[in-house]
Amino acid sequence: MAELKLCVYLENEEKIIPVDRDEFIIGRLPDNHLNLPYFGISRYHARIFKQGEGKWFIEDTGSKNGTFLNETMLTSPAILAHNDLIKLGNIDARVILDDSTLPKVIKFDQPELDEGMTIVRNVNDLKEQWIQADNLADKVKRQETSIARLKDLVDIAQNLNSAESIEEIFLAVKKVVFRYIESMERLGLLIVDNETGDLKLFNGAVKEVYYSQPLPNDASWISRSICQTVYVQKIAIQTSNAQLDERFGNEISIITKDIHSVMAVPLWDETKVVGVLYADGHIPISESIQQKDEDLSFFSTLANLVASSVQRWLLTRQLRNEEKIRHRLERYHSPAVVQQMMKAGNLSDTRLTPKESEISIMFADIVGFTALSEKLTPAKISELLNAFFEEMLQEVFAEGGTLDKFIGDCIMAFFGAPEPQQDHAERAFRAAKGMLDRLAKINTNKVLFHPLELRIAINSGKAVVGDVGSTLRVDYTVLGSTINLASRMESICPPGKLIVSETTYKMLQPSQRLELEEMGEYRFKGIDQPIPIYLITKNLLATKRQ
Residue 330 lies inside a defined structural domain of this protein: no
pLDDT tens digits, one per residue of 190-239: 888 766 677 888 888 888 755 556 676 667 778 777 888 888 888 888 87
| Stretch 52-58: mean pLDDT | 80
CA 227, CA 218: separation in Å to the nearest integer?
Answer: 15
CA 236, CA 292: separation in Å to the nearest integer?
Answer: 12
Assess whether 205 and 68 both reside in one domain.
no
Return the pLDDT at 24: 94
CA 412, CA 389: separation in Å to the nearest integer?
Answer: 11
User: What CATH number is attached to the domain comprising 47?
Assistant: 2.60.200.20
DSSP 244: G
Kind and range of the H or E run holding 35: strand 34-35
User: What CATH number is attached to the domain comprising 439?
Assistant: 3.30.70.1230
CA 264, CA 223: separation in Å to the nearest integer?
Answer: 10
- The domain boundary residue, chosen from 66, 98, 130: 98
User: What CATH number is attached to the domain comprising 310?
Assistant: 3.30.450.40
Using an 8 Å Cβ cutoff, are 467 and 354 in contact? yes
Return the pLDDT at 128: 42
Q: How many helices (H) and strands (E) does the chain have?
A: 12, 25
Count of structural domains, the chain: 3
Which has the closest alpha carbon to 461: 440, 443, 436, 486?
Answer: 486
CB neighbours of residue 36 within 10 Å: 21
Which has the closest alpha carbon to 250: 134, 104, 366, 148?
Answer: 104
Instruction: List phi, psi (to 5°) of 475.
Output: -125, 140
| Stretch 108-131: mean pLDDT | 50
Residue 108 lies inside a defined structural domain of this protein: no
Return the pLDDT at 537: 84
Instruction: List phi, psi (to 5°) of 318.
Output: -65, -45
Rg over CA atoms, the chain: 32
pLDDT tens digits, one per residue of 138-149: 443 444 555 566
Most confident of 43-57, 291-305, 443-457: 443-457
Assess whether 32 and 168 both reside in one domain.
no
pLDDT tens digits, one per residue of 329-358: 666 565 655 665 565 555 545 556 778 899
Return the pLDDT at 534: 96
Which residues form the domain of 225?
114-317
CA 207, CA 454: separation in Å to the nearest integer?
Answer: 71
| Stretch 417-430: mean pLDDT | 91
Using an 8 Å Cβ cutoff, are 315 and 194 in contact? no
Return the pLDDT at 293: 63
Residue 546 lies inside a defined structural domain of this protein: no
Higher pLDDT, 330 or 273: 273
Question: Is residue 306 over pLDDT 50?
Answer: yes
SS3 category, 353? coil
Question: What is the separation of C-alpha 305 from the centre of its chain, rounded to a whole number of angstroms?
Answer: 25
| Stretch 391-400: mean pLDDT | 91
Question: Is residue 29 over pLDDT 80?
Answer: yes
Assess whether 389 and 531 both reside in one domain.
yes
Q: Is 537 exposed, middle or buried (0-12, 13-18, 19+ CB in 10 A)?
A: exposed
Residues paired with residue 346 on neighbouring β-strands, in sequence order? none
Question: Is residue 540 over pLDDT 50?
Answer: no
Assess whether 165 and 269 both reside in one domain.
yes
CA distances from residue 40 to 65, 300, 317 in whole angstroms, order as listed: 7, 39, 36
CA 178, CA 185: separation in Å to the nearest integer?
Answer: 7
pLDDT band at 175 (very low <50, low <70, confident <90, very high): confident
What helix, strand, coil percent values describe the chain, rounded to 5?
35, 30, 35
